[in-house]
Amino acid sequence: MAAAVSLVVAVPVVVVLSSIFRDSGGVWAHLAQTRLADYAIGTASLCLGVGLLATSVGVAAAWLLTAYQFPGSRWLSWMQLLPLAVPGYIAAYAMTDLLQFSGPVQGWLREMLGWSRGDYWFPEIRSLGGAIVVLGFSLYPYVFFAARSAFLSQPASVLEAGRTLGRGPLGTFWSIALPMARPAVAGAALLVVMETAADFGTADYCAVDTFSTGVYRTWFGLDSVVGASQLSSVLLAAVVSLLILETLGRRGRRYHETSARSRQAHCTTLGGPAGLLAACMCALPVVVGFVAPAGRLVWLAIDHGAEHRWTLLVEHAGRSVLLGGTSAVVAVMLAVVVIYSRRIDSGLTVRVAAMVARSGYAIPGPVLAIGLLASLGWIDHAINDASAAWRPDAARPGLILTGSIFAVLIGYQARFLAVGLAMVESGFARVNPRLDDTARSLGSTPLRTLARVHLPMIRFSLFAAGVLVFVDVVKELPATLMLRPFNFDTLAVRVYQLASDERLGEAAPAAIAIVFMGMLPVALLSRIMSTPSQAAAESRRGARDDR
């Protein structure tokens, strides 16, 4: 059963990779000559820039908020998670609107300083730099979360030993705290880079040529599934080599705690100008990543109040909730199947199946969509051919899979099952295996043990897994865009389409709805974060290094 689940991820990947051997009718040759170098450079610079920015912002905020206490530090701790609620593409739309020539910021500057067009230089959001800033500030919470857990788990005495051996507070951070947190930070940075590689909406809007936008254009513009698959293979190869590099880099770098976990480091209190500076430094990413885009969207929604088509919004929201809800329930059930199978049977098949199912998160949405379109399309055609051969005069069944929401639902499972798996697994990990043994020795079957012992005990993890999958589905743009049935628009698709037509005012309510739903897991995560030991356990699970 677990093996069947893993096929959802494995099949699209195999189909994408097999496209290397197929003939794309000249599309590949055309791409290789004209666009390939641009895609490679664009993807690499975007990933590098976002990775560096998100890592430095996340680590700096995490260190300030664990080592020091200053005015507002408690609030700022959980607020660091807010930018996760704003998907990169929505942040890009809102920030562009805020900072463009006709936007409020430049308008205000011109009015205050008496400038007119051409008198001044102002950064352009719709550029590579703009995309890096937008994505960096929307993805840094991954690094923040991992770094904070790592810093919290460091024994105070190790940092104090650094002080008595002649390093100041900053020296202690650079030479001890940061190197010790490196595995966790590197894992989170890799996640950020993979999210960046998978990003479609932001790169598309900021006109950065990346593999993800290329895959979409090849499929949509050139109508070539094979060409898009071949392009996807390049991206997939890059992602896989990153994963291998990270695993190799981690080998032998798994530090063992040499100190018993004695005491947590106690915070130094920063008052006066230093405290104010620290508070500003921690507030800046929240402002750029959440307050500014979300605030602009709310303002736009109110300003364009008359133009909104509320019935349409409700319809789109209903579809988003339907897709998200179905996917969440299915993902949690599948995750329970996979994780429980692995718990009661540690055979190779189950272990490999769990690993494959988990790797779906690393596969960019457009790549997965292309793989699914190719494989499900093939099944659809086979069904139609079979039906034609069986009863030539009857009506054809049509595109049962690719023409219905089945395809998009499969796509979500392939991509987000990993999220459910991580949460469900951390729940199961907290159930003592002796309890399984006890239940079994009392005559309970494995299934009954699951229903009576495990599921009630891991309710919170199941719920959290469902919420995380739900939100990821609601936010997901490229897979929805490519796999949805004709004219089946969701909130994300609607926002994308309106924003592409420069109708941001109209897009605002739908974007706000996505941000609002995106704030659900923030509440969950902030609850987890409030207990450090659990946060550490979660982050270890989250780093997915226990293969």
In the complex, minimum distance from the CB of residue 256 to another protein, in angstroms, rounded to a whole number: 4
DSSP notation for 272-317: HHHHHHHHHHHHHHHIIIIIHHHHHHHHHHHHTGGG--HHHHHHHH
The residues near 224 (Cβ < 8 Å, ≥ 6 apart) are 24, 25, 27, 218
**Is there a contact between 187 and 422 (Cβ–Cβ < 8 Å)?**
no
34 scored as a contact of another protein (CB under 8 A): no
188 versus 282: smaller Cβ distance to another protein: 188
- Tell me which residues in 228-287 interact with another protein (CB under 8 A): 253, 255-260, 262
In the complex, minimum distance from the CB of residue 175 to another protein, in angstroms, rounded to a whole number: 7
In the complex, minimum distance from the CB of residue 164 to another protein, in angstroms, rounded to a whole number: 5
250's tokens: 């981690």
Q: Which of 2, 16, 90, 176 binds another protein (CB under 8 A)?
A: 176
Q: Among positive and negative, which fits the CA dihedral 370, 372, 378, 381?
A: negative
Q: How many CB atoms lie within 10 A of CB 268?
A: 11
Residue 339 exposed, middle or buried by CB count within 10 Å (0-12, 13-18, 19+): buried
In the complex, minimum distance from the CB of residue 59 to another protein, in angstroms, rounded to a whole number: 16
155 scored as a contact of another protein (CB under 8 A): yes
Q: How many CB atoms lie within 10 A of CB 83?
A: 28
Q: Which of 26, 107, 171, 271 binds another protein (CB under 8 A)?
A: 171
69 versus 77: smaller Cβ distance to another protein: 69
In the complex, minimum distance from the CB of residue 255 to another protein, in angstroms, rounded to a whole number: 4
Distance CA 121, CA 117 (A): 9
Q: Is 256 left (phi over 0), alpha (psi -120 to 50) or beta?
A: beta
Distance CA 493, CA 485 (A): 12
Q: Which of 102, 164, 311, 487 binds another protein (CB under 8 A)?
A: 164
164 versus 311: smaller Cβ distance to another protein: 164
User: In the stretch 177-196, what mask flags binding to another protein with x, by CB under 8 A?
Assistant: --xx-x--------------
**Is there a contact between 147 and 54 (Cβ–Cβ < 8 Å)?**
no
In the complex, minimum distance from the CB of residue 182 to another protein, in angstroms, rounded to a whole number: 7
Q: Residue 155's beta-bridge partner residues? A: 264
Query: Binding segment for another protein among 150-158, 301-309, 375-383, 409-417 (CB under 8 A)?
Result: 150-158
Query: Binding segment for another protein among 117-125, 162-170, 210-218, 338-346 (CB under 8 A)?
Result: 162-170
The residues near 128 (Cβ < 8 Å, ≥ 6 apart) are 42, 45, 46, 49, 206, 208
User: For another protein, how many residues bind (rule: CB under 8 A)?
Assistant: 26
441 scored as a contact of another protein (CB under 8 A): no
In the complex, minimum distance from the CB of residue 410 to another protein, in angstroms, rounded to a whole number: 43
Alpha-carbon dihedral 121, 124, 130, 131, rounded to 10 degrees: -160
Query: Binding segment for another protein among 11-19, 171-179, 285-293, 351-359 (CB under 8 A)?
Result: 171-179
In the complex, minimum distance from the CB of residue 538 to another protein, in angstroms, rounded to a whole number: 21
Residues lying near another protein in the complex (CB under 8 A) are found at: 155, 157-158, 160-168, 171, 175-176, 179-180, 182, 253, 255-260, 262
